[in-house]
Amino acid sequence: MNESPRIAFFGGEPLGLPALQALIAAGLTPTLVFCNPDRPKGRGQQLQAPAIKTLALQHSIAVRQPTSFRDQVEFPELTDQAWDLFVVVAYNFILPAWFLALPKHGVINVHPSLLPKLRGASPIRTAILENKPEDIGLTIMLMDEKMDHGPILAQEPYQPAIWPITGPELDMALADTGATLLAQTIPKWLAGSITPREQEHEAATYTKKITKTDGELSINPPELPYGTEATALLYKINALAGNPGTYFFYQGKRVKVLSASITADGQLSIEKVVPEGKFETTFSQYLTLLSQ
């Protein structure tokens, strides 16, 4: 393309911010950015703009923050103009058929797994939780009306140096890798040098939305488990680290688990916790307080 492509970007955190940064750095600055609404944060519950909005405004990019895409008449900036491409990265809204049909070169999405494996809401967390490092990677896909179903434009595997890695660490690693792959793929796609590849749908696996209740651990603090049970618990602690987090109940109190590891003899070793109503402490100090 001789002129700069008209791109609209739709992104959420954490994958969306590095992707937008990469597009700007590559000279593919979007004309319009859609991101999540401002949210109340902190003790004062003051509204805080998402980082994607802040970055877009710094580069004089127009921003919209809708709560749904049900009624297309509410989006004249999309429907009344010609667009070359829409880019969707971790944007948690249902995008209807009218939306997908607008841009000349379709709607592309960055998905943090090697599709068709780990489709759905929680591919990063599920890869750790289910011990599937072989399914970790990035896919740039052309979106259709089905979830994570569209043809593949580019893929790149990612092998963590440490396993099991924590969910937040893998989030950021894949965010950076995905941003680079996206910026490399878009010019090739717009130039017509990529042939979309249909997914092997019969090989698809699916993930579910992870909730706070999924974070509960069944353990007895004075007698932590060994072997396969210990390993499964470590995968869960690492996978759900940060959000929604893991926890256990003991003596009627809820205790958040912040970090853990496996000892040389195969026992689960919990390292840092936050007991209910108290500050962060080491697990050994928590056990000491229990005995007093």
Q: What is the average pLDDT across 48-65? A: 96
Residue 188 pLDDT more than 90? Answer: yes
- Bridge partners of 8, per DSSP, are 32, 86
Query: What is the mean pLDDT of the segment spanning 151-166?
Result: 96
Q: What is the 3-state secondary structure (H, E, C) of the chain?
A: CCCCCCEEEEECCCCHHHHHHHHHHCCCCCCEEEECCCEEECCCCEEECCHHHHHHHHCCCEEECCCCCCCHHHCHHHHCCCCCEEEEECCCCCCCHHHHCCCCCCEEEEECCCCCCCEECCHHHHHHHCCCHHHCEEEEEECCCCCCCCCEEEEEECCCCCCCCCHHHHHHHHHHHHHHHHHHHHHHHHCCCCCCECCCHHHCCEECCCCHHHHECCCCCCCCCEHHHHHHHHHHHHHCCCCCCEEEEECCEEEEEEEEEECCCCEEEEEEEEECCCCCEEHHHHHHHHHC
User: Which pTM value belongs to this model?
Assistant: 0.92
* Residue in this structure with the two tokens 């940060």, named with its chain if needed: 242
The pLDDT value given to residue 280 = 97
pLDDT tens digit sequence for 94-105: 899 999 999 999
What average pLDDT does the segment 163-168 reach?
96
Q: Which band of pLDDT confidence, cut at 50, 70 and 90, is reported for residue 204?
A: very high
The CA distance from 203 to 144, in Å, is 18
Q: CB within 8 A of 282, min separation 6: which ones?
A: 271, 272, 273
Report the distance separating Cα 223 and Cα 239, nearest Å: 22
Query: What pLDDT, on the 0 to 100 scale, is given for residue 80?
Result: 94
pLDDT of residue 2: 55
Nearest residue to 261 via CA among 224, 286, 223, 288:
224
* pLDDT beyond 80 at 292: no
| Euclidean distance between CA atoms 227 and 277, whole angstroms | 32
Span 63-73, average pLDDT: 92
pLDDT tens digit sequence for 8-44: 999 998 889 999 999 999 999 999 999 999 998 877 8
The tens digit of pLDDT for each residue in 205-232 reads 999 999 999 999 999 999 999 999 999 9
The residues, ordered by sequence, that sit 6+ positions from 219 with a Cβ below 8 Å of its Cβ are: 225, 233, 248, 268
pLDDT band at 115 (very low <50, low <70, confident <90, very high): very high
CA separation for the pair 19, 2 (Å, rounded): 23
Listed in sequence order, the residues at least 6 apart from 103 whose beta carbon sits closer than 8 Å to its beta carbon are 8, 83, 84, 85, 86
Nearest to 69 by CA among 94, 100, 49: 94
